[in-house]
Structures are given as C-alpha cells and as structure tokens.
Chains A and B, each alone.
Chain A
Amino acid sequence: MSYDWSVVWRNADVLWEGTKITVFLTVTTMVVAVPGGILLALMRLSRIKVLKAASVTFVEFFRNLPLILVIYTAYYILPVATGLRFSPITTAIVALSLNVSAYNGETFRAGIASIRKGQSEAGYALGMSRTRAMFEIVLPQAIRRVLPVLASTWVSLFKDTSLVSVISVGDLAFESMRVRSQTFRILEMLTAMAVIYWLLGYPQAKLVDWINKRSRVTE
C-alpha cells in the first residue's frame, strides 16, 4: 500500500479552518463556564435552600453524564424547548458549557471551602457584609488557589471539543474526517488529525504539569 501524504498539504487550509473552530470552542466555552462555575458555587453556599438544591442537582447531573450524550440531547432538545433555531456551533457551546460549568462549580466550591473561616470573619469584623466579604476576600483567594485545577479542566475541554464533530460542527476532527471520506486517504488524514491535536495538546499538558508542580504542597 502506498501512502500519499500530499493530501494533507493540499487540504491544509481546511484543517486550519477546523483548528480555528476547535480553539474558538475551547475559549468561548471557558469564558462562559468560569462565571457559570462561580455562580454554581455561590448558589451552593447560599442560605436559600432552593438555590442550593438547584446547584447540587445541576452539578451532580452533568458530572455524571457522558458529554457526547449531552451534545446529542442538546442538538434535539434545544430547538423544541426554546422554539428558536440553533446553529450546530451554538448548540455545541451550550452543551460544552453545561458540562464544564458543572466541573468548574465543583472546583470553585472546593476552592472557597479551602479558604479558612478566619478570613471571612475578619471581613465581618471590619463591618463588611457577607456578600462583600465573599467577593473581596474569599473569592479572589479561592480563584488563585484553584487555577491549577482550572488549567487541567482547560486541557480536558480542549480534547472534549472534538466530540462536537458528531453534530457536524466543522472543528478539526470533523474537517479531517470529511476530507478522509472525500479522498479515501484514510491513514494520512486521520494521522494528520492526531498529529495536529498532539501538537496543540502536548504543550498544554506539559504546561499544566508545570503549574501543578509549582503549586504542589509537599509534606
């Protein structure tokens, strides 16, 4: 069997477009899911029982579902439930955001819980309200503490965006597979896809290891 690697170069522009979509999905989802996660964590700590229950339910539900299923379900349910038309890419962002928000919610909850009580109590002693102590004292410290976890979530998200190819979003995985089925250069295109993901993902994974190492607490 002879291989023809020129197919990869001839379709470089398509792969480039797909790569841009992959990066766009990762960035956009994180931009939605960080505030989403903070909101879920604050709801969880709220004194209002309904908010607390809603947050716990949301987080546990989406953490215990395969993302690919959330993507499919969003694809079918969103238009019917809202009566609006959603482009595949919007659907993808909604599904990814639901998933990552749930993980971030848990991350921020743990981060806030790790800030010792004396910090917020000192705030109250200075006459701050509960809200102000949370936003000005606890949350800034918690966010700094959970940065390594958020970095890991970022890398997982980057890889998970490949799943949106199942609803025809033109990301790197989708475009590679499309060129594969048009040209029948199976090995070449799929290997190119894997290599591009590797080139983008490997430095990120290494960077996360470095961040984790730096922030590690040794006994």
Chain B
Amino acid sequence: MADLLTLQGWLLALLQTALFVTAAPLLVGWLRLLKARLQNRRAPALTQPYRDLSKLFRKEVIVADTASPLFRAAPYLVFSATVVTAAVIPLIAVHLPTAAIADVIVLVGFLALARFFLALAGMDVGTAFGGMGSSREMTIASLGEPAMLMAIFTLTMTAQSTNLSHAIDFQLAQGLVLRPSFMFALLGLLLVAVAETGRIPVDNPTTHLELTMVHEAMILEYSGRHLALMEWAAQLKLMIYGVLIANIFFPWGIAAELTSSALLLGLAAIVLKLMLLAVVLAVAETSLAKMRLFRVPGYLNLAFLFALLGMLSHVILEVGA
C-alpha cells in the first residue's frame, strides 16, 4: 500500500476528482443538446447547466418551517458522498491512490449513503410528495442494487479483484476478447444505470407531474444553494454511471502510467466515450415513453436476469478456458 501513497499520485487524484466534479454539468448539457436536436427543437447552450447552477447558488434559500436540521445538512451530505464516489473511479488514469481506498462494493455503498439522505430529506418537511418520492426511489434502488452488484460480481470474478483499477488493468492486459458474460453484464448495468440516474423510461428528469415524479418529488422543497447541490449531485451521478460503464467495459485509452502524453490521451478517450454514450442515451430517451411505476420492477428484473445470465455464462463457459 505504501508505494501508492506518493504525493504526485494524491495530487493527480485530487485533480482528477476536481475535473470529474466540474465536468458533470457539461455532460448533462451535451445530453440536452443531443435530445433537442433529435426532437427538432432549438437546443440551449452547452453551458446552460452551469448557468442554472450559478443562478441557484446566488438565490436566496427558503426553508419550510416544519423542516428539521437534517433538511439543511442533507444537501451537503448527499453531495459529499457523491463527490467521494467520483473520487474513487478511475477517470483518465488507473492506479491513483484514491482507487485503493474503496473498491466497487464500497462505491455502491457510497451511492446508497447519498440516496439514504436524499430519501430522508424528502420525508423531512412532511408533505405528501416528498414521502411518495422517497418511497418510490428506495423501491427502485432496492431492486436495482442487486442487479448492479450481480453485474459487477461477474466482472470482478473474471478479473479476480473488486478493485476498479485492477479490474481495468485486467481488461487492458486481456486485449479485445469477446466475452459473453461481459455482454450480458453490460446490458444489465446499462438498464440499472438508466433506472438509478432517473432517466426515461423509469423516471423523467424534466417532469413535475405528481403522478410520475420520483427524484424531483424528493427535492421539491429545496431552493437556492441547497437545490443547486442536489441538482449537481444528480448530474454527477449520471457522469459516475457513464464513466463506470465506459471505463470498465471499454477501458482502452485510459492512462496506465502517469506521463503527460498518456494522461492527455486518457482525457481525450474518456471525452469521446462519454459523448458516444450520451448519444445512445439520448436516442433511447427520445424513442421510448416513460413506464408506469409498477412496470419498473419488471424492467429491473430484466436487468437482474441479464446480470445473472452473465454470471452463469462466466461460470459455465469461461472458467478454465
């Protein structure tokens, strides 16, 4: 462990985290631009999410008089937990010291921690919407989490490590091998990512219709900088899932050593991968309609089934081969 803890490594890790956090709104801007184009609308500027955030940060904070102290602490907690999640994911380089702090199971735990406080904050003011949103969010998450872990287990059993850096290393060393288990795991993880980040067809990030909202219902009472932190955390979460999928399944290009040329290549690679993933998501969101809430379990069961098939094909087809 000692060789990991160099000053240079820590500095790079901090820089990478800062980049991760600041780039998250850009991904959302890109996604909105794509969706607008696909729907024949005029798109907002790519930097619109930044403008929205900075507007919210400057606005006055209004808190309901029934709110407890937890309501005011929750945005900071949710945001910090999400930032720490972002810090442990290899974005442009592998083997940074932050990756050793937490493996991929801990990463799922961080996301659960953020969700826990988000759901509690939804229930704090005591309106009907908040409770509804929390109940739905936790239901969806509790079905999504096993599917996600199952998909991850398939990968980690192949790579024999739950550490993200080591798993990516393994992928890189293997070269381009078509593994059926990875295909299934990728499908499962994609479905879970859509559900967890609250995109169509599970939730609609732009809706405020009572019957359908999930994430928006929980943060309905927030305003000003609190709302900005919650929104930013949600954007960060989208980026987290994007980077996870991009770098675990398609790690090529990521910087394996810490030279400036390798790092630049890594940066270019992840930008390209995320842009392409956003295209897939935008097309899917434009062509699909939102599901009824009680069709979501079926959807997540499908995700679990894919992940399970991935596991089975790993055990049956690939072990010993």
- A and B associate: no
Please give the residue numbers on chain B whose beta carbons come within 8 Å of chain A beta carbons, in ascending order.
none
